[in-house]
Amino acid sequence: MSKNEFKNIKVLFVEDEDNIRINAISYLKRLFDEVYEAKDAYEAFEIVEDKRPHIIITDINMPNINGLEMIRKIRQKDSNTKIIILSAYTKTDYLLEAVELNLEKYLVKPIRHDTLFPILNSCVEKLQNKGKNKKYFSENCYFDILNKNLYKNGKLIKLSNKELDFLTFFCENANTLIDYETIQSLVWKNSNMSEDALRAVVKKLRKNLPENCLENFSKVGYKINII
């Protein structure tokens, strides 16, 4: 698989040992365009919320919150991110816990290219599975979550960054009512979400989506419907 096929994949590497993290980031940047690093779970949580990486590679033994506890918290909101665990240990308890967290692989350090690369390759292939990444609103209108592209009648529809953020989040949580507070927190993030700003985004999106695709629930929030 070429780097071109890796280009839209975001990777987060979590490791508290500086030398290991620096070497790993250098290696990953040769494969992926967007690589993020964290030295502990707290930094990782911020990056997950802000950047939404497609693949997370993490150590288990870290200060304050270990890797398994971190993954457990991430899995409360996200079951799709591909997660690979690195550890210096093969403790049975760790292995049993890891199985429950829907991991791609549990690898014992030290990690070599010929061990890690096939797993990364497999993760990318799964992420690029068209059936999962294309969310259809009708037979002729769909959103490609991975590449953040909206197509209607075979044509690419140009959207603003905020419209793309909104549509991506709602497609990741399709057919689910999302309340205003969650929209503010996860779509607008650190910026202010006024009623006018939200309505403007919704109005523009509705012009490019099938009728009744994006539903409003008065004083509660919105829901997007896919087929």
Same domain, 141 and 65: no
Q: What per-residue confidence (pLDDT) applies to 4? A: 61
Q: What per-residue confidence (pLDDT) applies to 213? A: 94
Alpha carbon distance 72, 100 (integer Å):
9
List pLDDT tens digits, range 61-90: 898 899 999 999 998 888 779 999 988 876
Same domain, 112 and 60: yes
In CATH, what number is assigned to the domain containing residue 161? 1.10.10.10
DSSP state letters, 27-96: HHHTT-SEEEEESSHHHHHHHHHHH--SEEEEES--SSS-HHHHHHHHHTT-S-SEEEEEES---HHHHH
Same domain, 123 and 137: no
Beta bridge partners of 58: 14, 85
Q: What per-residue confidence (pLDDT) applies to 137? A: 93
List pLDDT tens digits, range 171-208: 988 899 999 999 998 899 878 899 999 999 999 999 99
In CATH, what number is assigned to the domain containing residue 65? 3.40.50.2300
Task: Show which of 84, 110, 128 is a domain's final residue.
Answer: 128
Strands in 124-199 per DSSP E:
134-138, 141-144, 149-152, 155-157, 178-179
Based on the structure, what is the number of domains in the chain?
Answer: 2
Same domain, 119 and 189: no
Q: What per-residue confidence (pLDDT) applies to 147? A: 82
Amino acid at the residue 185: S
* Domain coverage including residue 199: 133-224
Same domain, 35 and 120: yes
For the chain, how big is the Rg over CA atoms in Å?
A: 19
Alpha carbon distance 25, 89 (integer Å):
22
Same domain, 63 and 83: yes
Spans in the chain with pLDDT lower than 50:
130
Q: What per-residue confidence (pLDDT) applies to 94? A: 65
Q: What per-residue confidence (pLDDT) applies to 99? A: 67
Q: Are 30 and 19 spatial neighbours (Cβ–Cβ below 8 Å)?
A: no
Q: What per-residue confidence (pLDDT) applies to 91? A: 66
Same domain, 55 and 68: yes
Task: Show which of 112, 128, 144 is a domain's final residue.
Answer: 128
Of 18, 29, 15, 23, nearest in space to 120 by CA: 29
Alpha carbon distance 210, 188 (integer Å):
24
